[in-house]
Structure 1
Amino acid sequence: MDFSSVQSPDVAERLCQQGALEKLWLTPLQRGNRPVPVSSAYLPTALADNWEQLMGSLDRFFHRDLVNQVEVRPEYCAGSLVPRAIHIRAWHSEKTGRFEPTLEVW
């Protein structure tokens, strides 16, 4: 589905109320994230479980001291408030290896 027409918070919130979108945190709140608009994104409800699974994996990696740094970069296009994709890069500052999944949204 093309979400390029979702260019205002009112439209995004209406789609959330209709069950088409869900507002999710881009980084886990337990990792120091603050609930401010810049740290959240609207995702299709069908992808919410995929996002939660990725965040669960990331949390397990933190608890096992496999990563201690994370960068979450949403990729927006066409003025949409729904990201086209979300790129994650997680690594440990003192160890080798990385976790770099991308969630393709639309």
Structure 2
Amino acid sequence: MDCLFCKIIAGEIPSDKVYEDDLIYAFKDIDPQAPVHILIVPKEHIESLDDINESHKDLIFHISLKAKELAAKFGLTKGYRLVNNCKEDGGQSVNHLHYHLLGGRSMAWPPG
């Protein structure tokens, strides 16, 4: 499989890992859009949010809990944003489900 995130998870491409367990891998984004910008990626290759089903509900809940824990670990006490971009028009640039944890500055809406 020629998936960037699968290669990062496998250690074939270096990353600045901040968390790993049996289900997910989290690392600092190489092009941060905020002072804290962490990508949270399931180890299972899932193309996008459109490809999840009932069997993934524990995984999605786990990602949310770990995002909260990572936000606390990185001192995001004033708030943060957890974003999933789905498919091309949604801004997804890597076809592997992932979430952006962003914080450390005030987040405008809509994002620009």
TM-score (norm 1): 0.32
Please identify the structure whose Cα radius of gyration is greater.
Answer: 1
By relative contact order (CA 8 Å, sep 6+), the higher-ranking structure is: 2
